[in-house]
A and B are shown apart, each in its own frame.
Chain A
């Protein structure tokens, strides 16, 4: 009589040991306080979720941009050396050398808010106030000929600003290589003639290590 309950209990215990993932909540971590979430939750979405209260004008943004941004991005967002170009480049996306700027390429203004507030100025991240971020964005919009010089950007008019290239983003259509499958692979006598068409040796931009010329790259 006593044997039955013992046998019945043993398999259940085993099952719990084997699949701890299904054992329910583990009571790990602690609840995040609202003040903690508010401080760390800095992201902004295209629909405006996450936008803080604030405002800034083109002229305020101009002054801020010259002080905080122009050393890398140039006075007009033209980009110094290899630092990113922020303005211009409209109608360049189908050309030989596309210029991807906020005005020519970026799909959403919220992306620029999110990025500037969290990561700029480079090396001094999260040092801008929300008003300063709105102002710098207003100046960037102006440099891209998207708003006039008297424009003020704020939380309420933010989502009404649409960037020109938004409609040109499409979802990933891969696989996109027609006719490449195992059934059609050739293994012998696949070509009659082979010529070298391009060589890295001719446009050689392979890095070399000046300090140590015996490095393995050489």
Chain B
């Protein structure tokens, strides 16, 4: 036992490295191990569940983009170019699947671990802190989001749905979207107490998906409703992804990016605060 000790850092030495650093009481700087844990658990999970996250946007693309799209013809994008209907909705579906994946991982999965698995109680009895847990769980959601985004791009590109090279940036764009939704999702979940409240999340998500300029431009709505939708996160996500895949890039993009940076910071702040209140009170 002591032989092993001599060559390896002890848990105490590892924990003491954070001494004096800002946030040492809630952040050990080791959120990566939470991702490692998620990966260990993931190896045993059902591949059907994993595949569904990838297949869903592809089905929407086939049904609406090519099915319905053959009746519609083309749409005019923000700068007046005509694009096929499939190319118009493809980036919106990419943004939506990034959102859905992130929300699923950060709401249902987190809710279960919080209330039934006792996982966070266990983790917080070690030298990890609440921000490690929040970052690790969200990081895992992002990895999944990234994989789905790459998969979807691989399908879209040969179909000619990504006319611009800027489209490559739609992948990190999807990760940013997933980060924003996962942070806020986990933050909200940490305040929810039962399944009824969890259902409210879905109640909010579906209409946001349908009406955020996913399938048609906002210009068909009255002005007041346009303002409402423009305040919602999915609208920003779709605008950002669409601008990138269609190559209509402008300074306005930074506004969308900023929107998500604020979501990330706010979500992490409330998640960390709430986990401390729940498990370290």
A, B in one complex? no
Interface residues of B (CB under 8 A from A): none
Interface residues of A (CB under 8 A from B): none
